[in-house]
C-alpha cells in the first residue's frame, strides 16, 4: 500500500465498477461523466462484441492466444514449440516496452472515447481517474489451453498472464496521466468469491496473494492506487495482504461477510486504505431501494465494523459504487444504478460534511 492516512482525496465520491450495457460509447461516457465527475471511469462495453468481453479485452499482446470467433471464446494454444513466441513476449517485458501492451480501440472503445472526451474538457473537478484490468486469478482460471485445462495450472503461462496484465495496467496509468495525476486502477477478481471451494481446492492462498501483489506493485510503480473488486463473498484479508490501497466489496449482498475481518479492516483503514462500498444492487432489488435506505445500510455496517472506535474513518476513506458491473443488465436499470450510486454518494457527503 502506498497511500498514507491523509492521502485519499475523494472521500465518499462515487465511481463505476466498469461495465455498461450500452452499444453507443458516447452515451456510456455521457452517463459516467454526468454521474461520476470526481472519479470518472472508462466504460467496458461487452454488448459491442467479443473483443470487449472481460478476458478477451486484455488479451492483445499475449503469446499463443487464439480467439475463436466462431465459437466465441479465447484459449491458449500451448501445443508445439512455443519458445519463439515466449521469447518475444519476455523481451518486451525485460525491455519495459509498455506500449506493446496497449489496449487498442478495437478492444476498448469506451477507454479511447473517454480519453478523447477528457482531453479537451474542464478537468478541475476530477480527483482521480479510475481504470481497470481483469485480475490474473480470474483470467487464469477462466481461460483454458487447447486441452480445455485452465491456463492458471500451467506455471509458465500463469506467469505470462500476470506480467501481461501488470503491463496493461501500467499502460493505462500512463495513458491517463495527463487527465489526472492521481489515478486508480482496479484489479477485477470476481473468481475470488469461489476461493476455497472444492472447485479450486488446488489454488493456494499464497499464490493468489503473490499474483495480486505483482499487479498491485506494477500499479504503484506508475504512481497509481491499486484496488481490488470482488462482487461476492471472499476472504477479505487476501486483497489486504496483497498490498492494495482500495477494497471494493459487495456491501449490499455480502456486507456482513466483511465483519469477520473487522480488526484487519480497521488496521487497513488506519494505514490509509480505502473501502469502496458496493452498496447499490444491480439486480431487480434496486426497485425497493432509495438513496436514503442504502445510505442507512452503509451507516449501520460502518458502525458495526468500527466497534468502539471512531467510525468517521470509514467515511473519510471511502468510495461509493454499485455492487457489481452493469454490462449484463438492461440499459434502463444500468442507468438507474448509476444515478442512484451518485445519489447515495451525495447524501453521505451531506451527512458527513
Q: What is the pLDDT along the chain (353 residues), one digit of tens a residue?
A: 644 444 699 999 999 999 999 999 999 999 999 999 999 999 999 999 999 999 999 999 999 999 999 999 999 999 999 999 999 999 999 999 999 999 999 999 999 999 999 998 889 999 999 999 999 999 999 999 999 999 999 999 999 999 999 999 999 999 999 999 999 999 999 999 988 777 888 999 999 999 999 999 999 999 999 999 998 899 999 999 999 999 999 999 999 999 999 999 999 999 999 999 999 999 999 999 999 999 999 999 999 999 988 888 999 999 999 999 999 999 999 999 999 999 999 999 999 97
Whether residue 337 contacts residue 322, with contact meaning beta carbons closer than 8 Å, is answered with yes
What does the alpha-carbon distance between residue 111 and residue 185 come to, in Å, rounded to a whole number?
13
CA-based nearest residue to 319, from 193, 194, 182: 182
Q: What is the pLDDT of residue 195?
A: 85
Instruction: Identify the domain containing residue 337 by its residue range.
Output: 13-352
Q: Are 248 and 228 in contact (CB under 8 A)?
A: yes
Non-local CB neighbours of 122 within 8 Å, separated by 6+ positions = none
217 lies in some domain:
yes
Q: What is the pLDDT of residue 1?
A: 60
Q: Is residue 203 one of the residues assigned to a domain?
A: yes
CA 31 to chain centre: 19
State residue 276 phi and psi, 5-degree precision: -100, 110
Is residue 303 in a domain? Answer: yes
Query: Using CA atoms, how far apart are residues 161 and 167, in angstroms rounded to an integer?
Result: 10
3-state secondary structure of 63: coil
Residue 270 lies in a domain: yes
Q: What are phi and psi of 226, to 5 degrees?
A: -100, 130
E strand or H helix at 131 = strand 129-134
Task: Flag whether 187 is in a domain.
Answer: yes
168 in a structural domain = yes
In a domain, 4, yes or no: no
- pLDDT for the residue 196: 76
Query: Residue 329 is part of a domain; what is its CATH number?
Result: 3.20.20.210
Q: Are 13 and 320 in contact (CB under 8 A)?
A: yes
Q: How many domains does the chain have?
A: 1
**Per-residue confidence (pLDDT) for residue 3, from 0 to 100:** 42
- Distance from the first to the final alpha carbon of the chain: 27
d(CA 166, CA 228): 13
Strands in 13-14's sheet, in edge-to-edge order, are 13-14, 318-322, 274-280, 246-249, 225-230, 183-188, 129-134
Determine the Cα–Cα distance for residues 348 and 320; give it in Å rounded to an integer.
9
The Cβ of residue 318 has, within 10 Å, a number of other Cβ atoms equal to: 23
Residue 75 has phi, psi (to 5 degrees) of -150, 165
| Maximum CA extent, the chain | 62
Q: Which three cell numbers stand for residue 212?
A: 495480486
Q: In what order do the strands lie in the sheet with 65-68?
A: 65-68, 73-76, 144-145
Judge whether 153 and 51 are in contact, CB under 8 Å. Answer: no
Per-residue model confidence (pLDDT) at position 120: 83
Indicate whether this model's pTM tops 0.85: yes
CA neighbor of 243 nearest in space, from 277, 211, 278, 266: 211
* Residue at 7 is within a domain: no
Amino acid at each position: 500500500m502506498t497511500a498514507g492516512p491523509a492521502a485519499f482525496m475523494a472521500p465518499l465520491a462515487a465511481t463505476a465498477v466498469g461495465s455498461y450495457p450500452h452499444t453507443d460509447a458516447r452515451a456510456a461516457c455521457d452517463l459516467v461523466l454526468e454521474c461520476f465527475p470526481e472519479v470518472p471511469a472508462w466504460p467496458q462495453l461487452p454488448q459491442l462484441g467479443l473483443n470487449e468481453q472481460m478476458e478477451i479485452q486484455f488479451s492483445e499482446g499475449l503469446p499463443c492466444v487464439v480467439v475463436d470467433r466462431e465459437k466465441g471464446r479465447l484459449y491458449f494454444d500451448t501445443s508445439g514449440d512455443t519458445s519463439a513466441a515466449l521469447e518475444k513476449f519476455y523481451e518486451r517485458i525485460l525491455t519495459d516496452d509498455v506500449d506493446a501492451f496497449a489496449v487498442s480501440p478495437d478492444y476498448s472503445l469506451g477507454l479511447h472515447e473517454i480519453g478523447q472526451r477528457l482531453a479537451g474538457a474542464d478537468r478541475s473537478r476530477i480527483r482521480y481517474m479510475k481504470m481497470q484490468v481483469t485480475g490474473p486469478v480470474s483470467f487464469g482460471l477462466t481461460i483454458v489451453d487447447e486441452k480445455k485445462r485452465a491456463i492458471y495450472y500451467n506455471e509458465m503461462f500463469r506467469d505470462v498472464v500476470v506480467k501481461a496484465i501488470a503491463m496493461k495496467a501500467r499502460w493505462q496509468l500512463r495513458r491517463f496521466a495527463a487527465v489526472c495525476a492521481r489515478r486508480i486502477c482496479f484489479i477485477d477478481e470476481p473468481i475470488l468469491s469461489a476461493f476455497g471451494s472444492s472447485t479450486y481446492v488446488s489454488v493456494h492462498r499464497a499464490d493468489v496473494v503473490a499474483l495480486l501483489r505483482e499487479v498491485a506493485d506494477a500499479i504503484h510503480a506508475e504512481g497509481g492506487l491499486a484496488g481490488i473488486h470482488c462482487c461476492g463473498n471472499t476472504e477479505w484479508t487476501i486483497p489486504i495482504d496483497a498490498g492494495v490501497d482500495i477494497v471494493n466489496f459487495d456491501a449490499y449482498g455480502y456486507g456482513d461477510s466483511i465483519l469477520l475481518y473487522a480488526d484487519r479492516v480497521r488496521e487497513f483503514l488506519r494505514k490509509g486504505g480505502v473501502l469502496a462500498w458496493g452498496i447499490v444492487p444491480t439486480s431487480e432489488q434496486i426497485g425497493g431501494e432509495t438513496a436514503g435506505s442504502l445510505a442507512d445500510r452503509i451507516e449501520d455496517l460502518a458502525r458495526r465494523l468500527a466497534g468502539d472506535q471512531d467510525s468517521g474513518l470509514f467515511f473519510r476513506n471511502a468510495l461509493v459504487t454499485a455492487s457489481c458491473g452493469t454490462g449484463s443488465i438492461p440499459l434502463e436499470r444500468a442507468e438507474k444504478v448509476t444515478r442512484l450510486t451518485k445519489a447515495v454518494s451525495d447524501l453521505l457527503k451531506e451527512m458527513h460534511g
